[in-house]
Amino acid sequence: MRIGLYPGTFDPITLGHIDIIRRACLLVDRLVIGVAINRDKGPLFSLEERVAMVEAESITLARETDTEIVVHPFDNLLIDCARDVNAQVIVRGLRAIADFEYEYQMVGMNRVLDASVETVFLMADAHYQAIASKLVKEIARLGGNVSNFVTVPVNEALLEKYGSREK
């Protein structure tokens, strides 16, 4: 069984993340979506909220791709998480050159820690390359419309967090 791990904070999960998940499902039999606790980033949504959002968005994707999707919170090294879930491959989404530079360093470190775990990069679809959770939160916080960047349930969760500011 080919097991992949797609890690992230998913604060919140965006259409860009969903695009990467959908395409990663075509490469593996089981995709583990690792939701990083990452207290250093000071997430807007609690771990439980982020896990619930990712699980809800994954149901349709699992059915559409005939892939088992498991959501797995983690608070350890990414390579240790990959070992914990028996992943042979780590899936990473790329939007721009800046993403690649950071990810390139991470791959190098992870290869030293465990050369048996491969990393695969998937470029975000052109429609989603500008989407970043940080920017989505900023737009929502300032009362902007983020419905082009997230699903309806995630948009509603953002409106609940920030309050509806529609004019």
Contact 127, 28 (CB under 8 A): no
Contact 160, 140 (CB under 8 A): no
Contact 158, 150 (CB under 8 A): yes
Does residue 134 have an active-site annotation?
no
What does the alpha-carbon distance between residue 163 and residue 12 come to, in Å, rounded to a whole number?
16
Catalytic residue among 95, 111, 141, 161: 95
Does residue 17 have an active-site annotation?
yes
What does the alpha-carbon distance between residue 34 and residue 124 come to, in Å, rounded to a whole number?
18
Contact 43, 50 (CB under 8 A): yes
DSSP per-residue codes, 134-160: HHHHHHHHTT---TTTS-HHHHHHHHH
Catalytic residue among 30, 50, 58, 133: 133
Does residue 133 have an active-site annotation?
yes
What does the alpha-carbon distance between residue 62 and residue 70 come to, in Å, rounded to a whole number?
9
Does residue 127 have an active-site annotation?
no
> Could you tell me which residues are beta bridge partners of residue 68?
30
Contact 161, 45 (CB under 8 A): yes
Residues belonging to the active site: 17, 41, 95, 133
